[in-house]
């Protein structure tokens, strides 16, 4: 009987086992990427050469105590209400120079968005998660206002424009175009978030 069967078939039954082994190896040695977060600039350590005098009404003070309670402008406040209050303060527009603001023009609150400063103070024993939540809400207040203006001017969200601008895969022609727009919206509501040194008591 002539042998005309060709090459014998390779048994692929163990392929699944090999693949499972690799899979388990990757599951164990890798982590899912968590590289996103709140960007902050720390203030330089040298004090500015001259003291700038800031009116009290242009400062929005947020105090966090060690139990995670908030004291905003000398009133107790819930975390959920912080963003709303910050937005109200930022676009208050007491001197009427801001044409796009929809604030209440309360004379006891901030003059205009470029003068408004949010000052955050926290205790050394504040929990980090509370601290991040407060930071997040304050950044959220700026982002909400910027999104609103970006929607009005360019018909899209500021946060999306900024993310596309910062993404290195965006072609440079698009990025140049976005640069001016991002800059313009940022200048409408400049982010002035100051952090005092933490207190110990």
Partner 1 sequence: MKNSRETRKEIPAISTASLPDIVFMILFFFMTVTTIKTNPLLVDNNLPKADQVKNLEKKDRVIEIFVGKPSQELAKTFGNEPKIQLDNRLANVNEVGPYVLAELAKKPDAIRNLVTVSLKVDKDVNVGIVSDIKQELRKINTLKVNYTTYQGNSLEN
Q: Site residues (CB under 8 A) for partner 1?
A: 12-13, 15-16, 18-20, 22-23, 26-27, 29-45, 79-80, 122-133, 135-137, 139-140, 143, 159, 162-163, 166-168, 197-198
Q: How do strand 193-195 and strand 117-122 relate by DSSP bridges? A: parallel
Minimum CB distance to partner 1, residue 179 (Å): 16
Minimum CB distance to partner 1, residue 94 (Å): 27
Buried b or exposed e, range 78-106, using 16+ CB within 10 angstroms: eeeebbebbbbbbbbbbeeebeebebeee
Q: Which residues contact 40 (CB under 8 A, 6 or more apart)?
A: 135, 193
37 or 155, CB closer to partner 1?
37
Please give the Cα distance from 33 to 56 (Å, whole number): 43
Classify 195 as helix, strand or coil: strand
92 or 126, CB closer to partner 1?
126
Minimum CB distance to partner 1, residue 153 (Å): 21
At 121, give phi and psi (nearest 5°): -130, 135
60 or 158, CB closer to partner 1?
158
114 or 135, CB closer to partner 1?
135
Minimum CB distance to partner 1, residue 41 (Å): 5
Please give the Cα distance from 91 to 96 (Å, whole number): 10
Minimum CB distance to partner 1, residue 85 (Å): 15
19 or 54, CB closer to partner 1?
19
């Amino acid at each position: 009987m002539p042998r005309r069967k060709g090459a014998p078939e390779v048994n692929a039954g163990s392929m699944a086992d090999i693949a499972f082994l690799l899979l388990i190896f990757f599951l164990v040695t890798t982590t899912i990427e968590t590289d996103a977060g709140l960007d902050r600039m720390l203030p330089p350590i040298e004090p500015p050469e001259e003291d700038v005098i800031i009116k009290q009404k242009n400062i929005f003070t947020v105090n966090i105590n060690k139990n995670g309670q908030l004291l905003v402008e000398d009133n107790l406040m819930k975390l959920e209400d912080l963003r709303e209050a910050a937005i109200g303060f930022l676009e208050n527009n007491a001197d009427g120079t801001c044409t796009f603001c929809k604030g209440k023009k309360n004379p006891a609150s901030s003059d205009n968005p470029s003068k408004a400063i949010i000052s955050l103070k926290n205790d050394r024993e504040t929990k980090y998660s509370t601290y991040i939540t407060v930071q997040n809400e304050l950044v959220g207040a700026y982002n909400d206002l910027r999104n609103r203006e970006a929607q009005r001017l360019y018909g899209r969200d500021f946060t999306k424009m900024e993310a596309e601008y910062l993404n290195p895969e965006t072609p440079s022609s698009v990025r140049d175009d976005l640069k001016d727009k991002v800059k313009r919206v940022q200048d409408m509501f400049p982010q002035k978030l100051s952090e005092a040194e933490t207190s110990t008591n």
